[in-house]
Amino acid sequence: MSAWRLVEDEPAAEQPRPERSRAGGRRFLVVAAVVLLTLVGAGGLAAARTGMFAERPDGCAKPDRTIQLYAVELPKDGTQVRLGYGLTPQTASYPGPLMEMVEGECLAITLHNLVPEATLAALRTNPDHPLGVSLHVHGVKYTQDSDGTVQSGSYVPSGGSRTYTWYAQPRNPKTGALGTAGYWWYHDHVVGGPHGTQGLAAGLFGGLVVRRPGDPKPDRTYAVVFGDRQSINLRRGAATDTCDEVDPQPGPTCLIARQGERVEFVVIGVGNDMHTFHLHGHSWADTRTGTVSNGQPFADSVPIIDNKALGPGDSFGMQLVAGDSVGPGHWMLHCHMQFHSDAGMSTMLHVLDRDGNMPPGMDHEHDAAPAAAAPAIDGGDHQHN
Amino acid sequence: MSAWRLVEDEPAAEQPRPERSRAGGRRFLVVAAVVLLTLVGAGGLAAARTGMFAERPDGCAKPDRTIQLYAVELPKDGTQVRLGYGLTPQTASYPGPLMEMVEGECLAITLHNLVPEATLAALRTNPDHPLGVSLHVHGVKYTQDSDGTVQSGSYVPSGGSRTYTWYAQPRNPKTGALGTAGYWWYHDHVVGGPHGTQGLAAGLFGGLVVRRPGDPKPDRTYAVVFGDRQSINLRRGAATDTCDEVDPQPGPTCLIARQGERVEFVVIGVGNDMHTFHLHGHSWADTRTGTVSNGQPFADSVPIIDNKALGPGDSFGMQLVAGDSVGPGHWMLHCHMQFHSDAGMSTMLHVLDRDGNMPPGMDHEHDAAPAAAAPAIDGGDHQHN
Amino acid sequence: MSAWRLVEDEPAAEQPRPERSRAGGRRFLVVAAVVLLTLVGAGGLAAARTGMFAERPDGCAKPDRTIQLYAVELPKDGTQVRLGYGLTPQTASYPGPLMEMVEGECLAITLHNLVPEATLAALRTNPDHPLGVSLHVHGVKYTQDSDGTVQSGSYVPSGGSRTYTWYAQPRNPKTGALGTAGYWWYHDHVVGGPHGTQGLAAGLFGGLVVRRPGDPKPDRTYAVVFGDRQSINLRRGAATDTCDEVDPQPGPTCLIARQGERVEFVVIGVGNDMHTFHLHGHSWADTRTGTVSNGQPFADSVPIIDNKALGPGDSFGMQLVAGDSVGPGHWMLHCHMQFHSDAGMSTMLHVLDRDGNMPPGMDHEHDAAPAAAAPAIDGGDHQHN
């Protein structure tokens, strides 16, 4: 039994309220029994906590789907350690795999920590901090058992695994509870320190899209992570755009589409700094989906934007019709903070024509400082340049 | 009579407009009489101005309610001067008391400045700057007499008092004027310099909620002020969360609720820095109230978020159903800028179960650097660490 | 013919998706012919590209209106080079002329670059960077030929001219395409480097308002540009407000209106830093127009604000009824970041009474450090003080 007890009917001591405010504070009562837990290190901590909170959020009786996810050490980028999540160990990447859910769905993700303990120890900022990798998610529902934090013990030591349960809670017309459809993200919350700062800096993050039944489906989706040291998906300058003219491979470093395709962006902020996401030639509605139906009476009131500030932890997304009205071309996508874009925080959305061809004659070289000339991007420590 | 005169019908010299823009600029005429006022210091300034502007905003014929508010010097936090507003001198705190209004209401607040002049003099950045404390408010209506600024003379010398009138103007269906319902805040605008920077840094701020008739009432409300030096309500690390497991006292440093309660946050940014407000396990709609009714046709378009960037002066709020779907637990509430959370800009929303108990076995210690080990938080001067 | 080719029906290598995600990736095929262009410098670059992309966006068969715009070197501000756009060379200013369009309209702007090549060379950060001035616009539609970037070759060498075509695309009820009504801005994207950082810092920017048929018309519009070094329209302190009491000239440095007038602000962020726009005594809806109609069912949900964070590239706007309820007075307009406002990032909206008079006795002197005492504002390089 817990010492924490909240009992009603005595005015709260703090937060005095003016006369008109609703009557009835709350009283907190002392509860006699105080449970003392002897927690023996991180392992004991995790063990001690198992089963003390519900494993699954209300509404998820049983997972609808199961995913295996692997946390893996990837080749270093210069001196910077790189870690990634993957649906297989071989395909781990930064950002990690895009997750998609539909409201009402419950997803069980078993995270396997394949990152060597020595690597985690080297990233640790405090010798007392436990070693492990976790999965913390934004937007959807999860219990403390799936919080991915140290204090809830919901992380995974090297060589171990743990199942996290995410519930894309739908709207509840009776209670008025909101749904969870949106553009979200997931990330480590443990590597290096209690907020996973070193895990994030190394690459342990990815996008999550929760759709509402009836939402339009995009033709392709790109996660775009704006982070420290002027990085897009942890790259800078030429490294942000590796599209080969002859054999372009769409992915985090090759944003490409055909005119008329519905391109979806999941835009995520990580690290320490504010950024502004700007895309040339395209704009979107500042709504949940980036779109707005014309018939609706509020359509006139919705801001249409082509530049949006985001800070660490923020995520938003939108569906765009590639090249709508503006046609094919190499459309810049960059942070509009000038010293960020000048340092290489800039890439391209390459829009081909409806036949899949790029009109000739267009050099798409990035004029920003090439990544090769720049120091390795290691967003782990705080900086403002 | 004033020298300022704005007369119509001559094109403006600046801001040229394309051909299609509406016709008819405006002309500014010289008015003969120039009033010269001899202003003898701050007191004279205030005296000279009394009655020159309306005392009350249009729509407020007479205050509906009166509050006494005291500005008080509190015990220092290390070497940092602390000031607070209180409904009594004894209960002054930072943040100050939460104010609540309903649209249509007019509130008269008499501010008594009990802060010693010597304290104000020590905080002053310029020897010519007047000594006093003021009350500036966001969102609601007030005349220049209640602006709380030096240039309007609407501040209070030590030992003095002054009545400020706030009007929660309702929507006007005829003129289309907007209502003033929202999550707002109030603060000093005079201590130390013309923008009250030292008053804000010392603690002279508080939350204001203006409700619209029919708005749901929360079970409890917490003000959460994100400020300089990685502070939440001017505290950092362990000092942000003083909840006692045995006798938890809800307040600015103990955010606690029972599952199913409607918890309201008023989130405010002060100081110099951007922050991102993130709460684990809970999300809200990016609307005026943080909620959205399911029946409404635009409900599908509203972004649901769990992380929101805010800068100094910004304020927003929301009502959450504590533990909805996710159950009880120690849910982190932190700035998602990694170097901020790592430095202790992190606290907890403690959600107890429906009986008011916390499931056992959960250690809620903050892993962030304890406040004791950190230098005193004195957000008065600009810094980026 | 281009080497770029995007062909369907092979799974993408990156961005793995969970089982439920829609089937059908895309395949990228190698296309045989690779066009090699020999590009001989900037002039050759521009020449080589002419006609390779459509000159005008879809929907604009022919411009409805033509404007001549001049880029001009203005007198230095201290040591800081100043450039401006003007509808005539004589009226060039910073910000440049406010542009207004209506959805459905197509506008052709011929930019004449009157800035001496030596000036552009002195601003250049890289000797390989081409010399020129351009016009890049937010929100409305344009092809690569009007992108205003180096890589699209759409800029103007000194002494030259080039026509940019902007299309204020309206909503399309059939395709669901969004309209382009909004508060936008235009700026150079070439001076000094590939993101026009030195052109922006020198003053090459201005506001653009695109209205929807039926939108209310303001009585006056002011562009307010928040930029580096604590600047409003590149000025600071007393220089932000040059209103003469006897003969006030409305414009970028004299924001003035009569009570009851509809005042429109176009608020723009440029440079490197975040800011928060705050106006005393007035608030607005966080919608496309800053207003909301009372009859609409979502009106209850819209946040009303008086402080809004903005970063570089962001733009928003609103129409306010000057002095509504609060009456005449000198209403502060400032960045609410305390070290910004303390350094002089603060001006006034002077609201006169309905007869055009300012009630007497009100000193509107700015207490912030006068601009004369401050170093010249040269926002071109990155700084955080």
How far lies C253's CA from each of B27, B152, C101, C201, C241, in Å?
16, 20, 24, 18, 5
Measured between beta carbons, the chain B residues lying within 8 angstroms of C328 are 53, 144
Of the two residues C100 and C125, the one the predictor is more confident about is C100
What residues have CB less than 8 Å from B358, skipping those under 6 apart?
A2, A3, A4, A5, B245, B328, B350, B352
CA distances from B210 to A129, B107, B138, B139, C304 (A): 44, 12, 11, 9, 11
**Residue B39 pLDDT:** 24
Residues 6 or more apart whose CB falls under 8 angstroms from that of A376 comprise A77, A78, A79, A80
- 8 Å CB contact of C336 and B17: no
Binary contact (A65, C195; C-beta < 8 A)? no
Distance from CA of C88 to the nearest CA of A (A): 28
**CA of B265, closest CA in chain A: separation in Å?**
12
Note the maximum CA span of chain A: 79
Cα-based distances in Å from B235 to B52, B86, B332, B346, B372: 42, 19, 16, 10, 11
Nearest to C150 among A275, A356, A367 (CB): A367
| Nearest CB partner across the interface for B365, out of A30, A151, A175 | A151
Residue C26: pLDDT over 80: no
Give the end-to-end CA distance of chain B in Å, rounded to a whole number.
51
Per DSSP, the residues of A360-378 read TT------SPPGGGSPP--
Q: Which chain A residues touch C129 with a CB distance below 8 Å? A: 367
Q: B interface mutation test: which of C337, C353, C366 has the most B CBs within 10 A?
A: C337
Name the residue among B14, B176, B181 with its Cβ closest to that of C251. B14
Neighbours of B, requiring at least 3 CB pairs below 8 Å, are A, C
CB A185 within 8 A of CB A315: yes
Pick the more confident residue, C146 or C378: C146
Token couple for B163: 């009545």
* B256 touches B265 (CB < 8 A): no
Whether C18 shows a pLDDT value over 70: the answer reads no
Chain C contact set for B124 (CB, 8 A): none
Closest Cα in chain A, distance from residue C359 (Å): 34
Q: Please answer whether residues B194 and B132 qualify as being in contact, where contact means their C-beta atoms are separated by less than 8 angstroms.
A: no
Chain C neighbors of A251, CB-CB under 8 A:
12-15
| Option in C245, C297, C362 nearest B52 (CB) | C362
| Average pLDDT for runs of 10 along chain A of length 385 | 60 39 29 23 33 84 97 96 98 98 98 98 95 98 97 96 98 84 98 98 98 94 98 98 93 97 98 98 97 78 96 97 96 98 98 91 51 38 37
In the prediction, which pLDDT does C318 show? 97
| Cα-only R_g, chain C | 23
What pLDDT is recorded for position A20?
Answer: 34
List CB contacts (< 8 A) between C350 and chain B.
4
State how far the Cα of B261 lies from the Cα of B285, in Å rounded to an integer.
17
- Tell if the CB–CB gap between C298 and A299 is shorter than 8 Å: no
Taking contacts as CB-CB distances below 8 angstroms, the residues of chain A near C59 are: 325
Contact A294, C173 (CB under 8 A): yes
Contact criterion met (CB below 8 Å) for A184 and A208 = yes
Q: Which residues of chain B have pLDDT under 70?
A: 1-2, 7-52, 294-295, 361-385
Cβ–Cβ gap A327/C58 under 8 Å: yes
pLDDT recorded at residue A296: 72
3-state SS string for C150-164: CCCCCCECCCCEEEE
d(CA B354, CA A157): 33
Mean pLDDT of the region C342-357? 96
Which ipTM did the prediction report? 0.86
CB < 8 Å to C194, chain A: 341-342, 346, 366-368
Q: Which residue of B has its CA nearest to A187?
A: B336
Of C217, C298, C309, the CB nearest to B309: C309
Q: How far is B253 from chain C (nearest CA, A)?
A: 25
CA distance A1 to chain B (A): 6
* Short-list C139, C86, C57, C72, CA closest to C313: C139
DSSP labels for B176-213? ------EEEEEE-S-SSSTT-HHHHHHT-EEEEEEEPT
Quick count: other Cβ atoms within 10 Å of Cβ C296? 15
Hey, how many other C-beta atoms are within 10 angstroms of the C-beta on B91? 16
Q: What is the pLDDT of residue C108?
A: 98
DSSP state of C228: T
DSSP state string for A212-237? PTTPPPPSEEEEEEEETTTEETTB-G
Nearest Cβ partner of A246 from C16, C30, C181? C30
Chain A residues near residue B67 by CB distance under 8 angstroms? 18
| Euclidean distance between CA atoms C293 and B260, whole angstroms | 34
pLDDT of residue A275: 98
C158-198: pLDDT as tens digits: 999 999 999 999 998 777 778 999 999 999 999 999 999 99
Residue A312, min C-alpha distance to chain C (Å)? 14
Interface touch A329/C147, C-beta < 8 Å: yes
Interface test with B, best of A129, A178, A231, A276 (most B CBs within 10 A): A178
- Greatest CA separation found in chain C? 79
Residue A24 DSSP class:
-
Residue C24 pLDDT grade (very low, low, confident, very high; cuts 50, 70, 90): very low
- Under an 8 A CB cutoff, do C19 and A362 touch? no
pLDDT given at position B363 = 57
Three-class SS of residue A123?
A: helix
Nearest CB partner across the interface for A16, out of B87, B257, B358: B87
Closest alpha carbon within chain C to A95: C15
H/E stretch holding A339: helix A338-342
The verdict on a CB contact (< 8 Å) between B100 and A17 is yes
Looking at beta carbons, which residues of chain C come within 8 Å of A284? 178
* Local confidence band at C209 (pLDDT 50, 70, 90 cut-offs): very high
Measuring CA to CA, which residue among A166, A110, A170 is closest to residue A141?
Answer: A166
Using CB atoms, which residue from A252, A325, A358 is nearest to C4? A358
Degrees to nearest 5, angle at CA B265 with A195 and B310: 60
Residue B280: alpha-carbon gap to chain centroid: 24
CB pairs A-C closer than 8 Å: 269
